[in-house]
Amino acid sequence: NQSLAEVDPEIAEALDAERDRQESTLEMIASENFAPVAVLDAQGSVATNKYAEGYPGRRYYGGCEHVDVVEQLAIDRLKELFDAGYANVQPHSGAQANTAVFFALLQPGDKILGLDLAHGGHLTHGMRINYSGKMFEVHAYHVDEDGLVDMDEVEALAREHQPKMIIAGWSAYPRQLDFERFRAIADEVGAYLMVDMAHFAGLVAAGLHPNPVPHAHVTTSTTHKTLGGPRGGVILTNDADLAKKINSAVFPGMQGGPLEHVIAAKAVSFKVAMGDEFKDRQRRTLEGAQLLADRLLKPDMTEAGVSVLSGGTDVHLVLVDLAKSELDGKQAEDRLHQVGITVNRNAVPNDPRPPMVTSGLRIGTPALATRGFGPDEFAQVADIIAQTLAPDFDDDKAAVLRGQVEALAKQFPLYPSLAHA
Ligand code: PLP
């Protein structure tokens, strides 16, 4: 049993370099986070060796008595966290959680209604070359000129097309959705309402965002974004019949053996999410996003053509609008990379620039809040970002800002207890 460095020095070196990258830069990709060491430990455990097709107490393999404990704890904690009657913790990812729900409740060719990808929706909500776009007849709703989901359009499209499922949820949207109205529309046209809370689940768990579970027929999520756990997916419902259909769509419908090591890590992250430290972290996440939005709405930014979609944020991310700026999304992403801040460029609604360039940035605060950042640090970061997007940015300025980023990163060491491989 040799160490990773002995068995595979090339992989060990790449992983060490990745850890150094995470340590020395400021991670602001809105869908990323840092899982705690306890989660990494569970995921790197011997549970990776175990086959456990089936569900706790109903397995198709022997020797499942301990992974049954693991999976049952994950299920029970997830139900408690989101006040749900039934939970499935086996989907390998968020996309697979959504696939399982579609397989459980829809037939090929059925109509679905989701938020347009270019307006903040996810690939699995009906993008043309995603399986969701190929398997189903997709209709898309949009955001209005204020950047808010146009609920009147949702209602009109639902009445016109009578979809079998309405999907509420997003990958790039800075506000809360009106789950009650979504459900009323779904009920009126006899559709299922699926809420995909992948991005904002951590805020829900902390009580800082409305819980969609009581309103949706089915709620899906990832576990690795604001929730701060291992990469993976989950499905929740309060309906016993739907729960049965979903379980059988996940296994044997779509997956084979569950990843019990990942499920162990999910269980740990759900326990962490029940604590006061987690609530405080989500509060700082929201505060950080608001400080960033406020900074980017100041006159110096407005003069440079920089703005913020919907005029602010209620969640963990800010969508920067560069449609009126000389700087495009690609250049802005590169500039921020140069100073050590990682973000992703993002199309804005009705984007005048091509998809590989875009006119927007999506900037999120969950990973830095996990690292320990509070209002003072987020205010500094907001100012560094503003200076990086300003018209007078040059290599000299970049060097100074990079120094500030490194100092902030050093103040909040990441994984200090982990030795390099
Ligand atoms: N749903 C939403 C809203 C997402 O933003 C994402 C990820 O970006 C997913 C689903 C898919 O999750 P995964 O990348 O784990 O498949």
Interval 279-292 mean pLDDT: 98
Name which of 309-318, 345-354, 376-385 the model is least confident about.
Answer: 345-354
**pLDDT at site 418:** 80
Compute the distance between CA of residue 261 and CA of residue 273 in angstroms, rounded to an integer: 19
HSE, CB side, 13 Å, CA atoms: give it for residue 391: 10
Q: What does the mean pLDDT of the chain come to?
A: 97
Query: 49-85, pLDDT tens digit by residue?
Result: 999 999 999 999 999 999 999 999 999 999 999 999 9
**pLDDT at site 420:** 61
Compute the distance between CA of residue 322 and CA of residue 304 in angstroms, rounded to an integer: 9
**pLDDT at site 416:** 84
Q: Please report, in range form, the residues annotated as the binding site.
A: 117, 121-123
Residue 103 near residue 109 (C-beta atoms within 8 A): no
- pLDDT interval class at 419 (50, 70, 90): low
225 pocket-lining for ligand 1 (C-beta < 6 Å): no
Interval 16-30 mean pLDDT: 96
Say yes or no to pLDDT of 421 above 80: no
- The tokens for 89 are 């913790």
Query: 100-120, pLDDT tens digit by residue?
Result: 999 999 999 999 999 999 999
Beta strand extents in 111-260 (DSSP E only): 111-115, 137-141, 165-169, 192-196, 218-222, 233-237
31 pocket-lining for ligand 1 (C-beta < 6 Å): yes
Compute the distance between CA of residue 407 and CA of residue 288 in angstroms, rounded to an integer: 18
The residue to mutate among 122, 219, 231, having the most atoms of ligand 1 within 8 angstroms of its beta carbon, is 122
Expressed in angstroms and rounded, the spacing between residue 199 Cα and the centre of ligand 1 is 8
Compute the distance between CA of residue 93 and CA of residue 229 in angstroms, rounded to an integer: 12
Query: 353-403, pLDDT tens digit by residue?
Result: 999 999 999 999 999 999 999 999 999 999 999 999 999 999 999 999 999
- Which residues have CB under 8 Å from 145's CB, separation 6+? none
- Which is nearest to 101 in space by CA: 70, 132, 130? 132
Can you name the residues that pair with 319 across neighbouring β-strands?
Answer: 362
Return the DSSP state at 309: G
Compute the distance between CA of residue 200 and CA of residue 171 in angstroms, rounded to an integer: 9
169 pocket-lining for ligand 1 (C-beta < 6 Å): yes
Interval 264-272 mean pLDDT: 98
Query: What is the ipTM, given to two decimal places?
Result: 0.98
Atom 13 of ligand 1, residue of closest alpha carbon: 94
- pLDDT interval class at 1 (50, 70, 90): confident
**pLDDT at site 417:** 80
- The tokens for 99 are 């696939």
Compute the distance between CA of residue 319 and CA of residue 345 in angstroms, rounded to an integer: 9
- pLDDT interval class at 162 (50, 70, 90): very high
The residue to mutate among 222, 234, 317, having the most atoms of ligand 1 within 8 angstroms of its beta carbon, is 222
Say yes or no to pLDDT of 333 above 70: yes
- Which residues have CB under 8 Å from 325's CB, separation 6+? 304, 305, 306, 359, 389
